């Protein structure tokens, strides 16, 4: 080991649904359509970060639900991505700041067509297929390759 501490970025994201069972997507200025997600700020909890990111990127308030999946990007810069399910509470879709340029509600099939990035498309598909068991996925990028896939029974 080189004597430096390993660095991992911690990210939180959410598959948010409204009362019509549509999925919230935001359009990132570089990556295109994706679920709301972003990095934790120092001293912030995962749930607080999820609320903040959805508000910043889509302009709406949500209720956080189950932790559905943990993704570990092992290609540098390494990242741990905690993804939750959630439900829309209030507000109008209005990207407030940061990297999102648009926000919309989409059916599951439309969302899968709109999300074209390989990593985010696989993440979206896994979250749409969530069956109550916590998923763990480790992957590399350039090219995207799943390295480990494991499900854990819920308590």
pTM over 0.85: yes
Q: What are the beta bridge partners of residue 105?
A: 24
Domains and CATH numbers, the chain: 9-147 (3.90.79.10)
Residue 1 has pLDDT above 60, yes or no: no
Dist. CA 33–CA 70, nearest whole Å: 20
Residue 5 has pLDDT above 80, yes or no: no
Instruction: Kindly indicate the confidence band of residue 4, based on its pLDDT and cuts at 50, 70 and 90.
Output: low
For range 113-137, the mean pLDDT: 94
For the stretch 6-24, pLDDT in tens is 678 999 999 999 999 999 9
Dist. CA 46–CA 39, nearest whole Å: 10
Dist. CA 44–CA 124, nearest whole Å: 24
- 114 vs 148, higher pLDDT: 114
Dist. CA 42–CA 53, nearest whole Å: 14
């Amino acid at each position: 080991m080189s004597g430096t501490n390993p660095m991992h970025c911690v990210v939180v994201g959410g598959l948010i649904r409204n009362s019509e069972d549509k999925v919230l997507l935001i359009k990132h200025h570089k990556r295109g359509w994706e679920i709301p997600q972003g990095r934790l700020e120092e001293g912030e909890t995962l749930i607080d970060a999820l609320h903040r990111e959805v508000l910043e990127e889509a302009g709406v308030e949500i209720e956080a639900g189950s932790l559905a999946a943990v993704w570990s990007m092992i290609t540098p810069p390494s990242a741990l991505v905690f993804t939750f399910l959630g439900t829309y509470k209030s507000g109008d879709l209005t990207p407030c700041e940061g990297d999102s340029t648009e926000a919309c509600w989409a059916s599951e099939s439309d969302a899968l067509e709109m999300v074209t990035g390989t990593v985010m498309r696989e993440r979206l598909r896994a979250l749409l297929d969530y069956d109550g068991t916590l998923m763990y996925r480790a992957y590399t990028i350039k090219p995207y390759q799943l390295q480990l896939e494991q499900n854990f029974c819920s308590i």
